[in-house]
Amino acid sequence: MFETGVKSIGVSLKNGSADICVWAPKASTVTCRVEELDIDIPLTAGRYGYWHAGSDALQEGHSYRFHIDGEAYPDPASLAQPDGVHGASKVVDLKYPWRDEHYHPPALDDLIIYELHVGTFTASHDFAGLVERIPHLLALGINAIEIMPVGQFPGERNWGYDGVFLFAVQHSYGGAKAFQQLVDACHAAGIAVILDVVYNHFGPEGNYLPNFGPYFTEKYSTPWGKAINYDDAFNHGIRDFVLANIRMWFEDFHVDGLRLDAVHAIKDFSPKHMLQEVRQLTDSIIAERNKPHYLIVECDLNDRRYLDPLQDHAFAMDAQWIDEFHHALRVAAGEERKGYYKDFEGLKDLAKAYEKAYVFDGNYSTHREKFFGTSAAGLTGERFIVFSQNHDQVGNRMLGERSAVLYSESMQRLMAMAVMLSPYTPMLFMGEEWGSKTPFQYFVSHSDEELIKAVQEGRKAEFADFHTEGTPPDPQAIATFEASVLDWNDTTIDGHQRMLSYYTALIKLRREQRALGLLSREQLHVELHKEKGSLILNIGSEDQQLVAILNFSNDRQSFTWNKKGNWTTLLDSDHQEWGGKNHTPSIIDGTIHLAPASGLLLST
């Protein structure tokens, strides 16, 4: 229940009757047109711009539109858009026979996250295909999947960030019921579900919100046009809207966590920031359901206020993606220093990322041309999510190349090791675990010709700073989408099988060491050996220690080993088992030898 007194938004069913609510603060008349019955249900104006009605006529499966002063539009809080973003809304009953009463998601510091896009994860392009691959995820050691946005977007091909109906699960993926079945199946297998949600902008096609009320403001500009109205007149409409959406995902779909896209683009100077309201609502839902629910943000500000507690007048998010670890890792692995990579010095900055989380914590950024960032001191490691690739970092390359195309197999194994041995929460991107070479390209399926042209031209302009030759694939072409669908037959090929075995062993090792209390940020000291292109990670206490030597150079490197005690090799990324060349003991006559682009983990 919100401060405005609104209990639900859109059309909800209870005991065979429909409760109808829509926000249209400047409308003179509002009716709900039920298309199958050819009837109009008049709504009554209430407080704060809300219109209400109750009806026994409107039932599950019925199609409807709202008429605002005589003009017909889909419901902004529609639960289904079977005919696309321009079609009628459809009534859905979200009741579901859940089997997950006893399921509790893993603690934040135990998560192994696997990011995926439903449309390209399998050849069926839907939730059912994902359910079929749950055994693969379990065998790999994954205990949380992060799903790119599923709110209804134009057409059937989109990353999901062009969604315009935040409550309607994408129809081509299977819709609401199929998504509930997926979450239930994941919980039965012990896998948490994190959903990517977008509260910083709406897509350009099918966005009918301005026809209902002032959901947007001209006070601020964003890369997507007018900013969402979180702090101007009538801002309670969109704030209620977002809070209702969050409650729906947690309560009606049993989602375990939300990843909030680009929160730095949320413009809000209200006394209580929108994210603080999101935190408070989530805390109340946690108390009601007696289960954890995580709030993870993508944030480009290196601002600890997003993670600090509410009592410090901060936003108290549980965790954030940290791109800077990725950027430093990629430059250490050989990425050219251009575009946003030009700010990063490779090994030196990777060492800092291991110990400090933020590479830019108040120092000068040449890319941004300003001093940038805050210190992350005191924030525990699990609150930062790290990766060697994700949908942005792959898909925002001009050709959508994955690491398997850009780097040798040995370097891929080393990069994975660097992520899994970090004191942070690790995340994989779908197909990474077997070294998939299938690209993940940017794709859309708009119907407006001018918009299509604008997207195509914008995609070309996006790579100007990278000075890349050639042109990007056409985002609108179905071939671009089809080229991005994972080929699961690859997992049966020897080289890919070896990479999959390596990732499985690495994840198992990560989980075992975390269980022993190791791999914590407080117990990590990093040695930079710049002349050898290597880092040495010293992890643990006097009772138990881990040492990881990571050689990012193209040369064989040797290190004198004079540590006391009995040391055993836990993992050698260059071992023959994974397709490497090493089959000799790791320490010979007090010296450790590492092959090019390889890592070694030892333990007392």
- Contacts (Cβ under 8 Å, ≥6 apart) of 566: 604
Question: How many Å apart are CA 30 and CA 41, to the nearest integer?
Answer: 9
11 annotated as ligand-binding: no
Determine phi and psi for 103, rounding to 5 degrees: -85, 135
Characterize 48-77 residue by residue with b for buried, 16 or more Cβ atoms within 10 angstroms of its Cβ, and e for exposed.
ebbbbbebeebbbebbbbbbbeeeebbbbb
Distance (Å) of CA 481 to CA 162, 203, 445, 473: 15, 19, 9, 10
Catalytic residue among 75, 184, 232, 261: 261
394 annotated as ligand-binding: yes
Question: How many Å apart are CA 428 and CA 412, to the nearest integer?
Answer: 12
- Contacts (Cβ under 8 Å, ≥6 apart) of 25: 48, 49, 213, 214, 234, 237
- Contacts (Cβ under 8 Å, ≥6 apart) of 549: 534, 535, 536, 537, 559, 592, 594, 599, 600
259 annotated as ligand-binding: yes
Catalytic residue among 115, 240, 298, 432: 298
168 annotated as ligand-binding: no
Nearest to 433 by CA among 148, 141, 183: 141
Could you confirm whether 542 is annotated as catalytic? no
Question: How many Å apart are CA 54 and CA 316, to the nearest integer?
Answer: 38
Identity of residue 288: E
Could you confirm whether 252 is annotated as catalytic? no
Q: Is 32 exposed, middle or buried (0-12, 13-18, 19+ CB in 10 A)?
A: buried
Six-digit token pair at 121?
């994860």
Question: How many Å apart are CA 188 and CA 184, to the nearest integer?
Answer: 6
* Residue 12 per-residue DSSP state: E
Counting other chains too, the contacts that 265-273 makes at CB distance below 8 Å and 24 or more residues apart are: 265/200, 265/201, 265/222, 265/223, 265/227, 266/199, 266/200, 266/228, 266/230, 267/217, 267/219, 267/220, 267/222, 267/227, 267/228, 267/230, 267/231, 268/230, 268/231, 269/231, 270/230, 270/231, 270/235, 273/315
392 annotated as ligand-binding: yes
391 annotated as ligand-binding: yes
Distance (Å) of CA 320 to CA 75, 301, 305, 375, 376: 32, 11, 11, 14, 12
262 annotated as ligand-binding: yes
189 C-beta neighbours (distance < 10 Å), count = 15
327 annotated as ligand-binding: yes
Nearest to 500 by CA among 422, 581, 579, 384: 579
Residue in the block written with tokens 């299938």:
438
Q: Which residues pair with 386 in a beta bridge?
A: 426
2 annotated as ligand-binding: no
- Cα of first residue to Cα of last residue in the chain, in angstroms, is 55
300 annotated as ligand-binding: no
Determine phi and psi for 177, rounding to 5 degrees: -60, -40
Which residue positions form the known binding site?
A: 259-264, 323-327, 391-396
Point out the annotated binding site for substrate: 259-264, 323-327, 391-396
Which amino acids are annotated catalytic?
261, 298
